[in-house]
Chains A and B, each alone.
Chain A
Amino acid sequence: AEMAAARLSGTENRLVSLPLSRIRVIMKSSPEVSSINQDALFLTAKATELFVQYLATYSYKHGRGKEKNALTYTDLSHTAEECETFQFLADILPKKILASKYLKMLEKEKRDGEVREDDDEAEEEEDEDE
């Protein structure tokens, strides 16, 4: 049983790392939720951990980014756009575009007199903080 617990919780040897109290705050922010049983709270926290692992590994594996040894924002937004399971994240992980490119797009539209936005292939660039 201890082996199972260690395997499930990773190197920290804890069953769940995310704080249940914080998970609870987020859950309770939904107005239609009245009460949450302790098991449900635990499962939600644990599921969130599994989700983080899955999102990270999936994005890393399928990322089309130039860097092979890094996980970038671009990898994540690709995942949100292309993988059905993660499509609920599309709004919060939008694709990025360089400001200069966006301005050029706007200028072009003005020149062409087009009101409708093209479905241009916007190159995704990224500003790394590091």
Chain B
Amino acid sequence: MAERPEDLNLPNAVITRIIKEALPDGVNISKEARSAISRAASVFVLYATSCANNFAMKGKRKTLNAGDVLSAMEEMEFQRFVAPLKESLEVYRREQKGKKEARKDKDKKADSEEQDKSREEDNDDDDERMEEEEQNDEEELDN
């Protein structure tokens, strides 16, 4: 399966914003530096994925989970990320739970009013998968 080169890149605007927010005000970032950081970020994802996958394999699992990613960070010498990542994960999980509950309510309403299906929009699919995942570890995340 061949990806086009641009698919493995991250959006420039987002990368630029993250850099700008991290650096002091008024610091210029050359286009080259921005592009280099973007490439570095893609490489980081690949490296982290590979590392996390090793942990999953050690655990005889086919699905990468949160623990694998956190272990990968330690392995890659980015221990400093672990605490903030755990914090963020908690917030994320609460958000996802909230969305799921909101959707359950929506479903109830839809059933009773016999609405048409509008389930293909945004993260509804992800939520659905989240539900399934809790019952079953081997879950493919894609449409």
A residues lining the B interface (CB < 8 Å): 1, 4-5, 8, 10-12, 15-19, 22-30, 32-44, 46-57, 59-60, 67, 69-73, 75-77, 84-85, 88-89, 92-93, 126-130
How many A-B contacts if CB must be within 8 Å? 224
Q: Given A52-B18, A92-B43 in contact, is the A35-B62 Cβ separation under 8 Å?
A: yes
Q: Are B92 and A33 in contact (CB under 8 A)?
A: no
Bound Cα distance A26, B47 (Å)? 11
Q: Is the interface of B mostly helix, strand, loop or mixed?
A: helix
Q: Please name all residues of chain A whose beta carbon is closer than 8 Å to the beta carbon of B3 when the two chains form the complex.
A: 25, 29
Q: Is the interface of A mostly helix, strand, loop or mixed?
A: helix
B residues lining the A interface (CB < 8 Å): 3, 7-8, 10-11, 14-15, 17-19, 21-23, 26-33, 36-37, 39-50, 52-53, 62-66, 68-70, 73, 76-78, 80-81, 84-85, 87-89, 91-96, 126, 129-130, 133, 137-142
Bound Cα distance A31, B102 (Å)? 36
